[in-house]
A and B are shown apart, each in its own frame.
Chain A
């Protein structure tokens, strides 16, 4: 996988690396058993401090998503993939909801606020 660094986002670089790996796991770009790029590969791609990548990889390992094998590299332990059928269905429902929200006169900002609020509320209830 290839990483990218958004310098203007204000999101710390290690966070961006973690998020991009999680996204790759969700999209099936990375699958269990796959090796993550070496720290050297990542820093030569996006010119960031190697310690930042080490930290991101430690975070992913702490989340149980990857494991470091001494002398060999970092490997994916489990994926975050959704069942593709269910994903399409969920997307449809969300699109329908978006249309409903727009016809109710909600703007982008109001929609984003509602989504964020719902995400926050569901985080407390749904076991991960």
Chain B
């Protein structure tokens, strides 16, 4: 599969601290890839580097095979980006924001951006500052999609929205993706929000990629084992996290155990459990009485 976005050993240093380090990943073309990780893991740094809004301190970032360079503009037409500070002017009317989009972009699909906002009953003559936060997000998305990007980078697109506005934004986003086949790379720290919309997932922790893969593969290759403390972990699996409460020991493992002690109950973990396990690895937990 071709990569829409590819980074190799990508790093960005802010004075003395690294915002992102040794980051190597690929976002498959045509996928909707979720980027999860705790605050400060480097999600925004990564998305800004991908959008060409900041320059790498080390390593490379490529979009559709072309190196991203803040001074080059060739790839910009293929990229859409928006973050929580939506790129809108408060004093502008919605229609004027669409004008801005038309003038700033060589290719511009004004008809569908206009129709899109009409379908959502967002009046074109309303001023941006009079709109609800959810409507502003929809306008920002319409401006982003009006340029028909091949890759859409969204940094916490729904974080500040109420549940209804979240759902509406994700609905319009999925509709646009279905129509144009846009590749989407979006960050969130709410896994349950990403699960239905994404087919790939990348977990970032402490500025490094911990896990990356299709959600289906992640779900099939992880298992949750529950049993009595002291039971040995199956030999051929990797213990991602382990927990002990009283006599109960809970392991999240990667790999499908073949021969397993019948004392273990084998369960399918939720995606959220898988993500949390990778963010709090076994090594960081107190001793659990599990043979390693």
Partner-B contacts on A (CB < 8 A): 5, 7, 10, 12-13, 38-40, 43-53
Q: Which listed residue (B179, B192, B197, B270) contacts A48, Cβ 8 A?
A: B197
Q: CB-defined interface of B178-201 with A at 8 Å, one 1/0 digit per residue?
A: 110000000000001001111100
Q: Which residue of B lies closest to A43 (CB)?
A: B174
Contact of B196 among A39, A44, A49 (CB under 8 A): A49
Residue B32 interfacial (CB < 8 Å): yes
* B252-275 interface with A by 8 A CB criterion: 268, 270
- Check B175 for interface membership: any CB of A closer than 8 A: yes
Closest B residue, CB atoms, query A5: B196
Interface centre among A5, A12, A46, A52 (most CB of B within 10 A): A52
The answer to whether B270 touches A50 (Cβ under 8 A) is no
* Interface class of chain B by DSSP: helix
Contacts of B195 in A (CB 8 A): 7
* Complex: A55 Cα to B79 Cα, angstroms: 27
A44 near B198 (CB under 8 angstroms)?
no
Complex: how many Å from CA A53 to CA B175? 12
Q: Which B residues contact A (CB, under 8 angstroms)?
A: 30-32, 167, 170-175, 177-179, 192, 195-199, 216, 268, 270
Given A5-B196, A7-B195, A10-B270 in contact, is the A47-B178 Cβ separation under 8 Å? no
The docked-state distance in angstroms from the alpha carbon of A48 to that of B174 is 7
Identify 9 residue pairs between A and B in the complex whose beta-carbon atoms are under 8 Å apart, listed by A's number: A5-B196, A44-B172, A44-B175, A46-B171, A48-B196, A48-B197, A49-B197, A49-B199, A51-B199
Within 8 Å CB of A47, what residues of B?
Answer: 167, 170-171, 173-174, 196-197
Tell me whether A40 and B178 are in contact (CB under 8 A): yes
Residue in A5, A7, A40 whose beta carbon sits within 8 Å of that of B179 in the complex? A40
Within 8 Å by CB of B171, from A13, A38, A43, A49, lies A43
C-alpha gap A49/B193 in the complex (Å) = 12
Residues of B within 8 A of A46 (CB): 171, 196
Q: Is the CB of B199 within 8 A of A45?
A: no
CA distance A15 to B59 in the complex (A): 41
**Residues of chain B within 8 A of A43, CB atoms compared:** 171, 174-175, 177-178
CB distance from A92 to the nearest CB of B (A): 38
Q: How far is the CA of A12 from the CA of B174 in the complex (A)?
A: 18
Cβ-closest chain A residue relative to B175: A44
**Known contacts A5-B196, A7-B195: A49-B32 contact under CB 8 Å:** yes
**With the chains together, A53 CA to B196 CA distance in Å?**
11
The minimal Cβ–Cβ distance linking A111 to chain B, given in whole angstroms, is: 24
Select the residue from B31, B175, B216 with max chain A CB neighbours within 10 A: B175
Pick from A5, A10, A13, A50: contact of B178, CB under 8 Å: A50
CB of A7 within 8 A of CB of B177, answer no
Which B residues lie within 8 Å of A10 (CB)?
Answer: 268, 270
How far, in angstroms, from A41 to B216 measured CA to CA in the complex? 24
Q: Chain B nearest CB: distance from A59 CB in Å?
A: 14
Q: How far apart are A6's CB and chain B's nearest CB, in angstroms?
A: 10
Interchain CA distance A43-B170 in the complex, whole Å? 9
Q: Kindly list chain B residues whose C-beta atoms are within 8 Å of the C-beta of A40.
A: 175, 178-179
Q: Which of B173, B178, B268 has the most CB of A within 10 A?
A: B178
Which residue of A is nearest B119, CB measured?
Answer: A44
In the complex, what residues of A have CB within 8 A of residue B30's CB? 51
Give chain A nearest CB distance to B175 CB in angstroms.
Answer: 4
What is the CA–CA distance of A45 and B174 in the complex, to the nearest angstrom?
9
Q: Closest CB-CB distance, B60 to chain A, in whole Å?
A: 28
